[in-house]
């Protein structure tokens, strides 16, 4: 690699060096006597210095004669392209050498193409430094400009599939044709051949400049625009595209294809064998039967006790009619009972379907009907009854068991049979169930156990809803590695201060958090005096802004606490990739989610299903050990999203996520391709919410959008809905939606509009929608509030929090509040010396009037 420093006009200049004999007499403005023979290193450095010293447009050209001690001389001519194109430059050099007075043809300046292609992965810290290298071509390769321009168009169509190829070329033999400045990612320069050494550019004309010459392809690029690995890759693809122009075209030969496929796989092979979840936990029971497996407030449960408890429950389930493959609904609060029941379902050879007790009754009823449950384990209060469904409590299941039974029931289920069905948001308007086998969960732990050094000394938290697949990692990850699982009560999970106390008291070492939740915990940690003993934090569920971790790294250096950003989906068994976030990555604001876990395979494909070149964005596909069995009773949707893996066998899942592989194999997650969003860790199909709204009486059209007032503050993220009403009110629409949608999917605002604005393509123009109208009693007259009164202080605080005027009877949640804003409000109240606020109190008393009464008491 040759590296140059570019001057202000270097990108617009080219140069020619012609060797003269001692007898040649040349009249030039500047002659330099060099105290070296022409083949000595010092002479080469002098030639390089003159060849790469630019001139400005006003001067036009510079001519220097370098005479060496052994007789020969070098004629160096440097010219600005605004005055001399390549033919004119060569005529100028010939005229100087022959003693004539040339009248050169002028050339149009190529312009300033200061553009950073998204696929270039340049390093801004490199400033204006540039680099160049040469790629040789097979003998006889054509240098015809038309063929190379066509090849460049082919490559750009793969690197920039979102726009038509913009092909730029200089010195083709034809004038004009350059695109506007700034539109070019890569361009060609053609060496027309002739006497001397031609330097096509003293610095890259385009972000990536490829010169086609007799010796092959020379590539020059600015390092802050295009990285070295991407530049070399691009030129290889350009050469391959040119070679294949007469036949089926692909950028990659067999070796290149294999190299890209290896990038999407872990450097180390998978380990372990295919087993069922209960079989792995049985090994931990045998190793440390008296160690504490679960801690639920004041209730410790040892591995031996959990084993026997779940055995009895499993026999009770069998007595209740559960058999191999039966789907069993489990709707219990986070507790030791919940974990024991889940393990019992698996021991019974059945499949658990987790149901969150906080979900609206209509959503629970839908899941029961869609999965065709015949048995649901829950507490009796509030669960919607369904014909033909046995609703049992854990105590009732225990009562059905045979006390004389020893060990778990005998089942015929194997590792490849489903262990659970988790329902995720669906674009059709209703959730869809994902079938995940035992083997996938075991493979996940086999892939991470050694790297994360997970073992019996670890204390985990059970923080997340059992209906969220993070719970799969928390529960089974802990128990299959012999750790202690601390149950986090629902209301403690909503209070960062209380959760921080729990983590400190129980000496938690492994945390699993969404970035939104962790931000609140980190804020609570800064306010506390004592340090935590956490050694590993796993992030997932939503994009991570690595820069937000810098304050945590100040308190807990990398050597003390490892931060790991993981990308994954329910359909690929929780996690797919892992990236340890170092201080360097945090300072750089890295979007990397790391390399694939051992056994998992990551591909980035273009719209035609072809491998995208590293650095080029496309749709993320996942193959290998984590791919689920498909969607429950949705064969068409399963065929659409779970496709045969042409690169590794089995199935691969089409994620709908946009990303790109870096040359080192790290995956960058770049958002969604469809109408799906992630909010506070939950994956949400906006079309599901829109469908629910459209079914409301009086709604003739509906739209939903994710709005984040502050891009750097997850607490400001919310869902805003817009409806066109023929009758009824937005309050009625929101009330009906609340009976179907869980809290995290319920729009913060519902705004009535006369019509939905449309784009020229007939789609809803989200940018043209008005500011949302909060569901509020604003505008109604209310009694004046004494400024010293607690109600007045709360009103002032709420208005600061929301940014608009509120009233005593406004509901915090209907104004657009969420759990993160509730935590922030509690912190603001504490700073102002107001009574302490428990988040549960706000849920039960959501207006200023109600809250002030409770807080006074």
- pLDDT at residue 621, as a whole number: 97
Structural contact between residues 492 and 499, judged by C-beta atoms closer than 8 angstroms = yes
CATH code of residue 25: 3.30.559.10
- pLDDT at residue 454, as a whole number: 98
Mean pLDDT value across residues 44-61 = 86
> How confident is residue 699, by pLDDT bands cut at 50, 70 and 90?
confident
Q: Which residue has the higher pLDDT, 575 or 700?
A: 575
Do 462 and 580 lie in one domain? The reply is: yes
Residue where a domain terminates, one of 78, 109, 140:
109
Residue where a domain terminates, one of 437, 468, 493:
437
> How confident is residue 775, by pLDDT bands cut at 50, 70 and 90?
very low
- pLDDT at residue 761, as a whole number: 43
Q: For 8-18, how does the pLDDT look when each residue is reduced to its tens digit (9 = 90+)?
A: 678 888 999 99
- pLDDT at residue 215, as a whole number: 82
> How confident is residue 3, by pLDDT bands cut at 50, 70 and 90?
very low
Q: Is the pTM of this model over 0.85?
A: no
> How confident is residue 222, by pLDDT bands cut at 50, 70 and 90?
confident
- pLDDT at residue 6, as a whole number: 55
The total of structural domains in the chain comes to 7
**Residue 802 Cα to chain centre, angstroms:** 29
In a domain, 273, yes or no: no
In a domain, 1, yes or no: no
In a domain, 525, yes or no: yes
Do 618 and 583 lie in one domain? The reply is: no
Do 125 and 185 lie in one domain? The reply is: yes
Q: Which residue has the higher pLDDT, 693 or 484?
A: 484
In a domain, 88, yes or no: yes
* Helix, coil or strand: residue 333: coil
DSSP conformational letter for 522:
H
Do 627 and 582 lie in one domain? The reply is: no
Lowest mean pLDDT among 69-83, 480-494, 770-784, 842-856: 770-784
Do 48 and 116 lie in one domain? The reply is: no
Do 586 and 456 lie in one domain? The reply is: yes
Is it the case that residue 195 has pLDDT exceeding 50? yes
Is it the case that residue 550 has pLDDT exceeding 50? yes
pLDDT more than 70, % of the chain: 90
> How confident is residue 517, by pLDDT bands cut at 50, 70 and 90?
confident
Beta bridge partners of 217: 135, 212
Which run of H or E residues covers position 316?
Answer: helix 303-319
> How confident is residue 723, by pLDDT bands cut at 50, 70 and 90?
confident
CATH code of residue 794: 1.10.1200.10
- pLDDT at residue 778, as a whole number: 45
CATH code of residue 560: 3.40.50.12780
**Average pLDDT of every residue of the chain:** 86
> How confident is residue 60, by pLDDT bands cut at 50, 70 and 90?
confident
Q: Please state, in angstroms and rounded to a whole number, the distance separating the CA atoms of residues 178 and 81.
A: 13
- pLDDT at residue 181, as a whole number: 67
Q: What contacts 24+ positions apart, CB below 8 Å, involve 726-734?
A: 726/698, 726/699, 726/700, 727/697, 727/698, 728/696, 728/697, 728/698, 728/699, 730/773, 730/775, 731/775, 732/696, 732/697, 732/698, 733/693, 733/696, 733/698, 733/699, 734/775, 734/814
- pLDDT at residue 163, as a whole number: 84
Q: Please state, in angstroms and rounded to a whole number, the distance separating the CA atoms of residues 831 and 844.
A: 23
Is it the case that residue 783 has pLDDT exceeding 70? no
Mean pLDDT value across residues 258-278 = 90
Is it the case that residue 2 has pLDDT exceeding 60? no
Q: Please state, in angstroms and rounded to a whole number, the distance separating the CA atoms of residues 104 and 89.
A: 8
Is it the case that residue 811 has pLDDT exceeding 50? yes
- pLDDT at residue 102, as a whole number: 60
Sign of the alpha-carbon dihedral angle for 351, 357, 363, 369: positive
Range of the domain at 100: 8-109
Residue where a domain terminates, one of 657, 674, 691:
674
Structural contact between residues 165 and 187, judged by C-beta atoms closer than 8 angstroms = no
* Helix, coil or strand: residue 498: helix
CATH code of residue 356: 3.40.50.980
In a domain, 224, yes or no: yes
* Helix, coil or strand: residue 551: helix
Q: Which residue has the higher pLDDT, 188 or 245?
A: 188
Q: What angle do CA 397, 402, 404 make, to 5 degrees?
A: 145
User: Which phi-psi region, left, alpha or beta, contains residue 121 (left: φ > 0; alpha: ψ -120 to 50)?
Assistant: left
Do 630 and 659 lie in one domain? The reply is: yes
Q: Which residue has the higher pLDDT, 509 or 144?
A: 509
- pLDDT at residue 614, as a whole number: 95
In a domain, 277, yes or no: no
Do 522 and 535 lie in one domain? The reply is: yes
Do 319 and 224 lie in one domain? The reply is: no
In a domain, 278, yes or no: no
Q: Please state, in angstroms and rounded to a whole number, the distance separating the CA atoms of residues 123 and 118.
A: 12
Do 242 and 159 lie in one domain? The reply is: yes
- pLDDT at residue 822, as a whole number: 78
Do 555 and 520 lie in one domain? The reply is: yes
Do 823 and 749 lie in one domain? The reply is: no
Is it the case that residue 654 has pLDDT exceeding 90? yes
pLDDT more than 90, % of the chain: 44
> How confident is residue 127, by pLDDT bands cut at 50, 70 and 90?
confident
Q: Please state, in angstroms and rounded to a whole number, the distance separating the CA atoms of residues 857 and 853.
A: 7
In a domain, 298, yes or no: no
Mean pLDDT value across residues 828-857 = 81
């Amino acid at each position: 690699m040759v590296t140059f420093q570019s001057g202000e006009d270097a990108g617009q200049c080219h140069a020619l060096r012609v060797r003269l004999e001692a007898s040649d007499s040349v009249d030039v403005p500047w002659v330099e006597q060099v105290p070296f023979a022409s083949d000595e290193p010092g002479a080469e450095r002098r030639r390089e210095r003159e060849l790469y010293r630019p001139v400005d447009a006003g001067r036009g050209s510079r001519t220097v004669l370098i005479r060496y001690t052994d007789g020969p001389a070098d004629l160096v001519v440097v010219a600005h392209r605004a005055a001399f194109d390549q033919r004119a430059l060569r005529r100028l050099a010939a005229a100087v050498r022959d003693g004539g007075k040339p009248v050169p043809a002028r050339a149009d300046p190529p312009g300033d193409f200061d553009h950073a292609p998204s696929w270039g992965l340049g390093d801004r810290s490199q400033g204006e430094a540039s680099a160049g290298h040469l790629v040789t071509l097979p003998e006889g390769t054509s240098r015809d400009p038309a063929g190379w321009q066509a090849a460049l168009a082919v490559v750009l169509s793969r690197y920039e599939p979102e726009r038509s190829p913009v092909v730029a070329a200089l010195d083709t033999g034809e004038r004009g044709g350059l695109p506007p400045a700034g539109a070019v990612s890569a361009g060609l320069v053609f060496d027309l051949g002739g006497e001397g050494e031609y330097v096509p550019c003293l610095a890259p004309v385009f972000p990536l400049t490829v010169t086609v010459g007799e010796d092959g392809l020379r590539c020059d690029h600015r390092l802050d625009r295009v990285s070295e690995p991407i530049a070399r890759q691009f030129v290889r693809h350009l050469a391959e595209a040119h070679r294949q122009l007469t036949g089926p075209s692909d950028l990659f030969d067999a070796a290149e294809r294999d190299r890209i496929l290896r990038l999407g796989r872990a450097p180390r092979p998978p380990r372990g064998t295919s087993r069922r979840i209960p079989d792995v936990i049985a090994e931990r029971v045998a190793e440390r039967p008296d160690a504490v497996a679960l801690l639920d407030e004041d209730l410790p449960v040892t591995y031996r006790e959990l084993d026997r408890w779940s055995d009895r429950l499993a026999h009770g389930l069998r007595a209740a009619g559960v058999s191999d493959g039966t789907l069993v609904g489990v709707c219990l609060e986070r507790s030791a009972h919940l974990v024991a029941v889940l393990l019992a379902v698996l021991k019974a050879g059945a499949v658990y379907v987790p149901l969150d007790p906080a979900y609206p009754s209509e959503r629970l009823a839908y899941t029961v009907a869609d999965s065709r449950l015949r048995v649901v384990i829950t507490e009796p209060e509030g669960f919607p009854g369904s014909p033909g469904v046995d609703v049992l409590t854990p105590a009732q299941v225990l009562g059905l068991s045979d006390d004389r039974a020893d060990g778990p029931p005998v089942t015929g289920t194997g590792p490849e049979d489903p262990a659970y069905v988790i329902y995720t948001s669906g674009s059709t308007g209703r959730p869809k169930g994902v079938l995940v086998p035992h083997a996938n969960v075991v493979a996940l732990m086999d892939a991470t156990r050694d790297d994360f050094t997970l073992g019996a000394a670890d204390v985990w938290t059970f923080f997340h809803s059992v209906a969220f697949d993070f719970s799969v990692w928390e529960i089974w990850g802990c128990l299959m590695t012999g750790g202690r699982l601390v149950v986090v009560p629902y209301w403690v999970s909503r209070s960062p201060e209380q959760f921080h106390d729990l983590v400190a008291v129980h000496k938690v070492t492994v945390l699993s958090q969404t970035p939104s939740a962790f931000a609140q915990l980190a804020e609570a940690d800064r306010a506390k005096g004592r340090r935590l003993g956490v050694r590993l934090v796993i992030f997932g569920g939503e994009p991570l802004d690595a820069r937000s971790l810098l304050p945590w790294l100040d308190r807990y250096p990398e050597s003390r606490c490892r931060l790991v950003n993981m990308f994954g989906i329910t359909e690929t068994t929780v996690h797919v990739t892992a990236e340890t976030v170092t201080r360097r990555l945090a300072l750089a604001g890295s979007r990397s989610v790391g390399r694939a876990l051992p056994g998992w395979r990551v591909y980035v494909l273009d719209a035609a299903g072809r491998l995208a070149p590293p650095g080029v964005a496309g749709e993320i596909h996942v193959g290998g050990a984590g791919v689920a069995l498909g969607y429950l009773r949705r064969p068409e949707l399963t065929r659409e999203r779970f496709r045969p893996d042409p690169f590794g066998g089995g199935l691969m899942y089409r994620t709908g996520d946009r990303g790109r592989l870096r040359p080192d194999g790290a995956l960058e997650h770049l958002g969604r391709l469809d109408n799906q969003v992630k909010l506070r860790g939950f994956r949400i199909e906006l079309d599901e919410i829109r469908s629910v709204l459209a079914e409301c009486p009086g709604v003739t059209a509906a739209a939903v959008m994710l709005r984040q007032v502050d891009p750097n503050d997850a607490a400001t993220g919310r869902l805003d809905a817009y409806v066109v009403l023929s009758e009824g009110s937005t309050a009625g629409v929101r009330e009906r939606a609340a009976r179907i949608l869980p809290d995290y999917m319920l729009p913060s605002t519902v705004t009535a509009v006369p019509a939905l604005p449309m784009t020229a393509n007939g789609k809803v123009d989200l940018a043209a929608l008005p500011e949302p109208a909060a569901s509020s009693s604003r505008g109604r007259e209310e009694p004046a509030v004494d400024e010293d009164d607690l109600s007045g202080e709360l009103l002032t605080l709420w208005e600061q929090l929301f940014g608009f005027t509120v009233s005593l009877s406004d509901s915090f949640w209907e104004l657009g509040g969420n759990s993160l804003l509730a935590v922030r409000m509690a912190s603001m109240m504490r700073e102002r010396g107001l009574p302490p606020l428990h988040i549960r109190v706000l849920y039960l008393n959501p207006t200023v009037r109600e809250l002030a009464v409770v807080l006074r008491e």
